[in-house]
Amino acid sequence: MRHLRLGDRLWTAAVYVSGMLIIGVVLAIFYYLAGESRFAFDRKFDVGFRLALQPAKGEYEADVSLDPNATLVTLNREGSEGLDEKEETLPLPTLESLVGIASFATGSPLTGELDKVDPEQLYRDDWRPKKMGSEETRFLVYGFATPEYKEPTMALAWDKDQGFVIEETPYALTLELLRAPEGVEVKPFKVDLKTQPKGRLEIPTFIARTDADRTQGYVFELVASPRSSHVQAVIGGMASSSWEPTGAYQRYGFLPLILATVGLATFAILLAAPIALGTAVYISEMSSSRFREWAKPLIELLASVPTVVLGFFGLILVAPAVSNTIAKALGAESGRSFITAGIILAVLLIPVLTSLIEDSLRNVPQSLRDGGDALGMSKAEVVRSIIVPAAKSGIIGAHVLAIARAIGETMIVWILSGGTPSMPSFLNVREALANLVKPVKGIPDTVAIEMGNVDFEGVHYGHLFTLGLLLFLITMALSLYANQLMRRSTWRR
């Protein structure tokens, strides 16, 4: 007897633990997704400006390589591994080797005396990746000409780097002449790079002079002072409109992904809803019970085809059809696009939606159908003005749940959407239509594809987890709302 009681106690404990586990799983998912998102906040931001001393006469060249022997030397930008490798293969210049004009840059706040900066040393140190944290960061540009340069003036030119979006940087950027060489008369200046991202300023030529402990030249200063806190900056980055995690300038804007996912879900539900609603009403209100016995499982069968199989179905059969028709008409090349993914998503949603709507229609008590019949209403009138309105909240709930399903669907979008993040454009009708055949990339497929190529616990990894968290919260909110709606429609009679 005692033994039995112990067994019972263990049993009860196991049952309760399993019940509690459900909340535990939700909390754990939230905890870990949020936790891994912290790596997104290791993000360092780019400054992305090129400064150069160059001949006063002649055209300014916008595209200048990183060759240190060239007349333009780009200011460093932090965090780029590619540049580091490149640097190792380049010979370090010496003063003697320089011809024309040279400028040198540093990316960290200089310590020690400004006057005693060794340009060569400066160069060597400062192509390293810099962490740009929350403090104000100063970049010093040290500039002079070599004796071969004979003109009385030279120019300081600055330009935003290609791909660098000044609106999205969390810094206020200014360029200032900090110190002129001894004996040179020059007007002090300070430029706000945000309002003037490209420019040129003439200054008197100064020929480099070095002696034992001192190098002479202009010292320009590029100040990057935070406009917002680092956390705000990272979140601001997420709110921006470009997702290029592997480009020269990493950008982690969620907007194109969110718009693609929401757009695809909307498109699919608009396509699926009328068909699903019609089918559900047909099965629930018009067909014999014998037909219903067959139809329901058949519909559930389509709902359970693995989505990766649906994806390939779309890739081999639907994508070429789209590419030959709509895509061609709108000037796109590939059938892998928004519309193809949207169509196959709708195919997935139709059975899901039909099944859910049918359930809520069947929940409407028979007595209402009788009441409508007895009033002399036709079948269609009973359905349209009594049954469907009576099941309204359940039907809406079904749609909300289907939207959640579409938002979380990964494989169909992965295989069919073309995998290129893009922002929709609504400038004119033609462009708005062209959005349909654009390749897009949604949230879940981005996570699935890119997670395979990231450094674990890196910035990109962190952002992918943030996307996952976003997905979790969105689907959670939708499913809870849908559940509430569907419960409201349950007739207690």
Partner 1 sequence: MATVIDKAKREGLEARDAQRARSSRRYLGLLTGAAVVTFLLIVGIIGTILIKGLPSINWAFLSDLPREGMTAGGIWPMIRGSLLLMFGTMLVVLPVGVLGGIYMAEYAGESRFVGLIRSSLVSLAATPSIVYGLFGLAVFVLAWKLGTSLMAGWLTLALFSLPVVIITTESAIRAVPESLVEGGLALGLSKGQTIRKIVLPNAASGIATGIVLSTGRAAGEAPPILLTAGIYYSTGQLEMNLETLRKPVANLPYHLAEGYRQGGVIPESIIWGTCVVLMGLVLLINLGAILVRARSRARSLQS
Partner 2 sequence: MNNGTPLEDYVISARNLRAFYGNQEALKGVGCQVAGRRVTSLIGPSGCGKSTFLRCLNRMNDRIPGFRIDGDLRIMGADPYAKGADLMKLRRQVGMVFQKPNPFPMTIFENVAIGPKLHYGLKGSELEGVVEEALKEAALWGEVRDVLTKSGLSLSGGQQQRLCIARMLAVRPEVLLMDEPCSALDPISTAKIEELIVALKERHTLLVVTHNLQQAERISDYTAFFMFGELVEYGQSTQLFGSPVKSETQDYVSGRFG
Which positions lie near partner 2, rule CB under 8 A?
A: 288-289, 365, 367-378, 381, 385-386, 389-390, 493
User: How many other CB atoms sit within 10 Å of the CB of residue 43?
Assistant: 21
Q: What single string gives the DSSP state of each residue in 89-157?
A: HSPPP-TTT--SEEEEEE-S---S-GGG--HHHHHHHTTS-----SS-EEEEEEEEE-TT---SEEEEE
At residue 174, the 3 state secondary structure works out as strand
Binding segment for partner 1 (CB under 8 A), chosen from 41-49, 217-225, 242-250, 344-352, is 344-352
Binding to partner 1 by residue 46, rule CB under 8 A?
A: no
d(CA 130, CA 46) in angstroms, rounded, equals: 9
Binding to partner 1 by residue 333, rule CB under 8 A?
A: no
Q: Which is nearer to partner 1, 76 or 410 (CB)?
A: 410
Give the binding-site size for partner 1 (rule: CB under 8 A). Answer: 95
Binding to partner 1 by residue 476, rule CB under 8 A?
A: yes
**Nearest-approach distance from CB 255 to partner 2, in angstroms:** 41
d(CA 177, CA 166) in angstroms, rounded, equals: 21
**Which helix (H) or strand (E) covers residue 178, if one does?**
strand 171-179
Per-residue binding string, partner 1, 380-399, x by CB under 8 A, is: xx-xx---------------
Give the start-end residues of each E strand in 16-68. Answer: 49-55
Residue 414 site contact among partner 2, partner 1, none (CB < 5 to 8 Å, cut-off depends on kind): partner 1
**Nearest-approach distance from CB 371 to partner 1, in angstroms:** 17
Binding to partner 1 by residue 472, rule CB under 8 A?
A: yes
**Nearest-approach distance from CB 14 to partner 1, in angstroms:** 5
Residues of span 274-303 touching partner 1 by CB under 8 A: 274-279, 281-283, 285-287, 293, 295, 297-302
**Nearest-approach distance from CB 493 to partner 2, in angstroms:** 8
Binding to partner 1 by residue 341, rule CB under 8 A?
A: no
Binding to partner 1 by residue 444, rule CB under 8 A?
A: yes
Tokens of 268: 């699919």
Binding to partner 1 by residue 354, rule CB under 8 A?
A: yes
d(CA 52, CA 9) in angstroms, rounded, equals: 79
**Nearest-approach distance from CB 36 to partner 1, in angstroms:** 5
Q: Which is nearer to partner 1, 316 or 429 (CB)?
A: 316
Binding to partner 1 by residue 342, rule CB under 8 A?
A: no
**CA dist 472 → 60, 74, 316, 402 (Å):** 51, 43, 31, 15
User: How many other CB atoms sit within 10 Å of the CB of residue 58?
Assistant: 10
d(CA 435, CA 39) in angstroms, rounded, equals: 33
Residue 161 site contact among partner 1, partner 2, none (CB < 5 to 8 Å, cut-off depends on kind): none
Residues paired with 106 in a beta bridge: 140
Binding to partner 1 by residue 375, rule CB under 8 A?
A: no
Binding to partner 1 by residue 374, rule CB under 8 A?
A: no
Residues 6+ apart with CB under 8 A from 132: 44, 45, 47, 78, 171, 224
**Nearest-approach distance from CB 481 to partner 2, in angstroms:** 20
